[in-house]
């Protein structure tokens, strides 16, 4: 994990990454009092406004509808199975990529990206195991995601 963090922001910016990772690993981030459907909808709209996001490379759907890229992409991409609200699914898949060691850094046209794969295991016949997400996000995108979450969270009080 240390090498991944160093590649993301360099050793002088560990604090910025540590704050983000604390938030990301917190399972209760959406259980804050007042965090309701309207806030989730607002957060979803906000993550779609972050620089780099493009609707063309955004896919959020059921397992049967999802087709993941077969080769490494060279542009922003979010392919993820739906389970909850879009924003919750995105944050969960990013978290899982870090937590399960499925996050790597790639440089594309001088910009650092985080490439994340997420997989799910299931004991249910209606939800088989397999890939649940592929994300290719500029590093700054994930920090902006946290910033926008915090703005909405602070508006709850």
What is the residue extent of each domain of the chain?
Answer: 2-154
* Global confidence as pTM: 0.86
Q: Which of 33-47, 62-76, 77-91, 135-149 is least confident?
A: 62-76
Whole-number Cα distances in Å, 36 to 32, 39, 41, 42, 50: 9, 5, 9, 10, 22
Q: Which of 66-80, 94-108, 117-131 is least confident?
A: 117-131
Encoding tokens for residue 10? 């360099």
The whole-number pLDDT of residue 19 equals: 81
């Amino acid at each position: 994990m240390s090498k991944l963090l160093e590649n993301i922001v360099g050793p002088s910016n560990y604090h910025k990454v540590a704050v983000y990772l604390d938030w990301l690993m917190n399972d209760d981030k959406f259980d804050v009092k007042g965090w309701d459907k309207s806030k989730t909808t607002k957060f979803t709209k906000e993550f779609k406004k972050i620089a780099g996001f493009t609707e063309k490379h955004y896919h959020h759907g059921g397992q049967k509808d999802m087709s993941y890229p077969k080769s490494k992409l060279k542009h922003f991409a979010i392919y993820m199975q739906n389970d909850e609200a879009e924003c919750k699914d995105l944050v969960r898949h990013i978290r899982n990529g870090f937590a399960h060691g499925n996050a790597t850094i790639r440089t594309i046209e001088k910009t650092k990206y985080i490439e994340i794969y997420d997989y799910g295991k299931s004991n249910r016949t209606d939800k088989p195991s397999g890939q649940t997400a592929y994300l290719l996000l500029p590093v700054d995108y994930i920090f902006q995601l946290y910033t926008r979450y915090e703005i909405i969270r602070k508006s709850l009080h």
